[in-house]
Structure 1
Amino acid sequence: MFASTWLQRFNAWKPRHGQPLMLRSLLLRSAWLPAAITAILLVCSLALLVGASWRSLERLDPIHAHQLHLYRLQDLGLRLQEALVESLDTSADSGDVDFGALRRDLDRLLGGDDSLVQDTPSRLRRARILLDDLKRNPRTALIAALGELRTALVSEYRAHDTLLRDVQNNALLELRVSSALTVVIPLLGLMLLFLLRRRILLPLNNLRDLMAHLARQEYRSAATENVTPVLLPVFENYNHMVERLQELERHHRERQESLEAAVHRATATLLQQQRELARSERLAAVGEVAAGVAHELRNPLAGVQMALSGLHRDLTDAGHRDRIELILGEIKRLSRLLNDLLGQARTPPEPPVAVDLGRTLEELLELVRLQVPARVRLDAEVTPGLCCRLPEAGLRQAILNLLLNAAQAIGDREGHIHVTAACEAGQLRLSVADDGPGLPAELLQDGVRAFASWREGGTGLGLAMVQRFAREQDGRLELGAREPGGACVSLLLRCGTNADE
């Protein structure tokens, strides 16, 4: 019972399937881990695809620029061919050819950096120089410039074809890598899931079963031989918890056994004290009755003795006088016996001492709780620091009698006993109230009488002893009823203080 209570506090919460919160979080974490890794791999593959696409787009820019460069070279070559054709035509005027525009176009080509072949700029510069030397031999210069331009154009076309093949090869490589990633990534996710299930999920399921056994107070240690290092601290802590719970359960069992033995001894002692108390109450009541009877008999015997003494003086017959003397001797012997009986019935008064009412009531309530059912609640309401000078033993006995009477009145039913103690105007009022059937009307009307009991098996001495104690302390005992049901018995005593000494 102790281990299960401690385990419930340790877990703090359990879902419907009985899995502790710690295991539930670990299981969820283990399930999310392969999914997270797979998602990360997918994101990485998508990032690679995006990067490859972006790189392909970046490769298109130089291809487009070089394509424009080729168009310009080709256009310049066509214009040089037209100029050469016009120069070969004798009927045409060579002044119609705009060589300045050709030179400017060559300058623009030289100013750009779109060539793929290193020799192209030098060939274009030679063609530019040849165009500047048209005055001496224009045909030869045009043919030479056209040759340089054609050679550069052929080299650039070859370089352009090489660039296109490189782009195509890179695109094919990226396509193959992307296709491989789309197949490899799910396989990696499945492999990770299998490994995690084998190394994490299965040990956690075993730990969940062990926790279920632990909740049923079945202490089983977890094997740590094949546990992954990630879960090893969890299993070690579980084994430490099992050892600690076993130790606590053993201490709790020993403590419970010792408490049961102590309660058994206290109950036996209390029962013995109750038996002795009942016997003492009966003897005290018998002594009180005997003292009353002796007191009542002593007065008539004194009158008889006086009458016989007078008769003895008046008689002259010796025989009658002897008989009267014999009777007087027996009467004197009876008087001595009655005086001895009265002397034994008188008990020396108990000296008053300072009594802490709060502590005394607390001790008596703890004593009574050991012998009344658990469904009977007992509590006390005492003025803080209340202390009176009274005979402690007699006061404790009187309060104990009132508490036991209230508990016996409630019986086997569920009930409540409430004790109050307060001092007003130098007088202590100690009341014991219960919610039992209440006091009989005859008792409320006639008052307390020794050996008069309205409870089956009662002696009729409990309230009589309390009333006797109250009268010895110049106090009184009040009986009353509670609404809607129950009884209230109040003990009113003079509450002395240390200054009264």
Structure 2
Amino acid sequence: MPPAYARPMSARTTLLQPLRVSVALATIALILSLGFLALTAWHSAYRLSPLENHIRQIQGLQQTDIAIGKLLTRHLGSHQPPTAMELAHIRADLDDLLQQNGQLSPKTPENLRMASDYLSLPIDNPSSNLIGALSLIRKVLTQENALQQQAIKTARQSADQEFTIALIALIATPILAIAVMIWFRRRAFRAVSRLSELLDNVASLRFVEIRPVSEDDPLAPIYDHYNEMTASLRTVAQQSRDHTDQLENQVRAASETLLRQQAELENGAKMAAIGEFSARLAHELRNPVSGISMALRNMEIETEDPDHRERLGLIAGEMDRVTRLLNSLLQNKSFTLETPVQVSSDQLVGDVVKLFGYRLPTHISIKVHSENHTIVLPRDTVRQVLLNLLKNSCEALGNQPGTITVSFDVAKNTARLTVADTGPGYSEALLTRGIRPFQTGKADGVGLGLSIVQHLVHGAGGTLHFDRNTNGGAKTVIEFPCEEPDHAHHHHH
């Protein structure tokens, strides 16, 4: 397995490549330019050196030519032959020229030696010897001058060529360097834009695989790493979706269970309300029934007709049974009061609305206006009251689109819960006379819903007020006594 730094290094190399290449190209161009200039300068110097030697040679030849000419002129004018010293001097000059080796023509050394021989002692005929040496020297001069002109012409042509090459190099090198830099930069920016594309994919949760652009794509290791990451992310995203679905199903199941339990509780509450009503009824009936029983017993003792006595005995027995029944009804306990607990009002209302939202038809919406307060009150009672009122509003709206508004606020140790809807509203009878058990406006209703609400509210020491909304719908205002947690005794469940 490669070391951990291999991948980041290759990415860094890719991103820094244009800069490195630019610097390298600039350096190479500079070295080449300077090298070429140095070579040209050296070449020019190399060409000038033999030319300088040659010029010295020609100067020497010219001086020798002049010296022999002078001797010849003197000899021809005054018949005075050249002295041995003068001839030795000229021959020494010719030896020097031979040793300098600055000639351009290969025939020059031979000609110079022949000229030197003409001037060697003894000389029989000075004039012919001087003329022979002079003609050789001039022949050499003519050849050397012609060759020098040729050499200068060649040198000039070379210099012109070098100048042209230098000029072309001067223009071409930067252009080439810029072209290569642009190519590298485009390649590098392609890599950067690909990286940007990868980041965009991740940001927009598009977990697609990326393939390298070419076989030598420098970002190939990054793509491998990215593909591994996207594969993991795809798995995680799928797991998250599955988990969310699972949670939604669990929440739905839990809410259905809660609503079913709520219905059962409601049913229990209805039965309790019936029980309480029965108890009140039993209380009212017991006194007259016991009076009738006493009268029947007296009549049974007083009457003499056995047939009447038997009948009165049977009736009195039935009345005793009624009394026992009434007594047993009265012994049934009423609702037990709930212990208040500390709650967050937002959470209390929010939980109930959310729970109810699962069975809410799409054409009905619920709006909540609540400032959060932490208070102590009978939580379950409030929940049941709110659920009952929401259910009533929902049933009142029926198939009509509408809105249910729930408000909860707390002031001076009183929690006020208001539920209003855009339905047909409460009947005139209910608004004027208040709640009567077993009175209902619904076709399939028993008429105990609001009666239970009233019972729960009164049991918790609260008040209940029915009203019309501004738009004609039903409005129910309930006030519960509550406490701030600072002043309350904290109850633990």
**How has the CA–CA distance of structure 1 residues 424 and 255 changed in structure 2, closer, same or farther, with 3 Å as cutoff?**
same
Of 464-473 and 346-355, more deviation after overlay is shown by 346-355
1:170 aligns with 2:181: no
**How has the CA–CA distance of structure 1 residues 317 and 264 changed in structure 2, closer, same or farther, with 3 Å as cutoff?**
same
**How has the CA–CA distance of structure 1 residues 289 and 486 changed in structure 2, closer, same or farther, with 3 Å as cutoff?**
same
Q: Which has the larger radius of gyration?
A: 2
Runs of 5+ in structure 2 lacking a partner?
1-10, 48-57, 59-64, 74-99, 103-133
1:384 aligns with 2:373: yes
Give the corresponding residue for 1:280.
268
**How has the CA–CA distance of structure 1 residues 418 and 440 changed in structure 2, closer, same or farther, with 3 Å as cutoff?**
closer
% identical aligned pairs: 26
**How has the CA–CA distance of structure 1 residues 476 and 310 changed in structure 2, closer, same or farther, with 3 Å as cutoff?**
farther
SS in 2 for 1:492: strand
Shift of 1:477: 0.8
Give the corresponding residue for 1:67.
none
Do 1:475 and 1:492's aligned partners in 2 also have CA atoms closer than 8 Å? yes
Q: Give CA-to-partner distance per residue, 1:76-106, whole Å, 9 cap, x none.
A: xxxxx9xxx9xxx9xxxxxxxxxxxxxxxxx
Tell me the distance in 2 between the aligned counterparts of 1:459 and 1:322: 42
Tell me the distance in 2 between the aligned counterparts of 1:336 and 1:371: 45
The residue type paired with residue 375 of structure 2 is L
1:477 aligns with 2:464: yes
Give the corresponding residue for 2:235.
247
1:354 aligns with 2:341: yes
Give the corresponding residue for 2:52.
none
The residue type paired with residue 256 of structure 1 is T
Of 367-376 and 464-473, more deviation after overlay is shown by 367-376
SS in 2 for 1:439: coil
2:253 to 253, 257, 265: 265
**How has the CA–CA distance of structure 1 residues 297 and 319 changed in structure 2, closer, same or farther, with 3 Å as cutoff?**
same
SS in 1 for 2:341: strand
1:450 aligns with 2:416: no
SS in 2 for 1:467: helix
Shift of 1:240: 1.4
The residue type paired with residue 327 of structure 2 is N
Do 1:59 and 1:167's aligned partners in 2 also have CA atoms closer than 8 Å? no
SS in 2 for 1:301: helix
Q: Give CA-to-partner distance per residue, 1:114-153, whole Å, 9 cap, x none.
A: xxxx999xxxxxxxxxxxxxxxxxxxxxxx9xx99x99x9
1:495 aligns with 2:468: no
**How has the CA–CA distance of structure 1 residues 340 and 429 changed in structure 2, closer, same or farther, with 3 Å as cutoff?**
same
Do 1:263 and 1:370's aligned partners in 2 also have CA atoms closer than 8 Å? no
SS in 2 for 1:386: strand
**How has the CA–CA distance of structure 1 residues 371 and 56 changed in structure 2, closer, same or farther, with 3 Å as cutoff?**
same
SS in 2 for 1:372: coil
The number of aligned residues is 397
Runs of 5+ in structure 1 lacking a partner?
1-25, 64-73, 75-80, 90-117, 121-143
**How has the CA–CA distance of structure 1 residues 228 and 411 changed in structure 2, closer, same or farther, with 3 Å as cutoff?**
farther
Give the corresponding residue for 1:468.
455
Do 1:438 and 1:481's aligned partners in 2 also have CA atoms closer than 8 Å? no
Counterparts of residues 225-240 of structure 1 (less than 5 Å): 227-240=215-228
Please provide the CA RMSD for this pair. Answer: 6.1
The residue type paired with residue 460 of structure 1 is G
Do 1:474 and 1:493's aligned partners in 2 also have CA atoms closer than 8 Å? yes
The residue type paired with residue 426 of structure 2 is P
**How has the CA–CA distance of structure 1 residues 492 and 159 changed in structure 2, closer, same or farther, with 3 Å as cutoff?**
same
Give the corresponding residue for 2:425.
439
**How has the CA–CA distance of structure 1 residues 238 and 51 changed in structure 2, closer, same or farther, with 3 Å as cutoff?**
same
**How has the CA–CA distance of structure 1 residues 373 and 216 changed in structure 2, closer, same or farther, with 3 Å as cutoff?**
farther
Tell me the distance in 1 between the aligned counterparts of 2:167 and 2:387: 98
Shift of 1:180: 12
1:400 aligns with 2:391: no
1:372 to 360, 381, 389: 360
**How has the CA–CA distance of structure 1 residues 238 and 499 changed in structure 2, closer, same or farther, with 3 Å as cutoff?**
closer
Tell me the distance in 1 between the aligned counterparts of 2:162 and 2:374: 97
1:363 to 331, 351, 354: 351
Shift of 1:398: 1.9
Shift of 1:489: 1.6
Could you state the TM-score of these two structures normalised by the residue count of structure 1? Answer: 0.56
Do 1:365 and 1:378's aligned partners in 2 also have CA atoms closer than 8 Å? no
Of 241-250 and 225-234, more deviation after overlay is shown by 225-234
Tell me the distance in 1 between the aligned counterparts of 2:319 and 2:383: 42
Of 44-53 and 456-465, more deviation after overlay is shown by 44-53
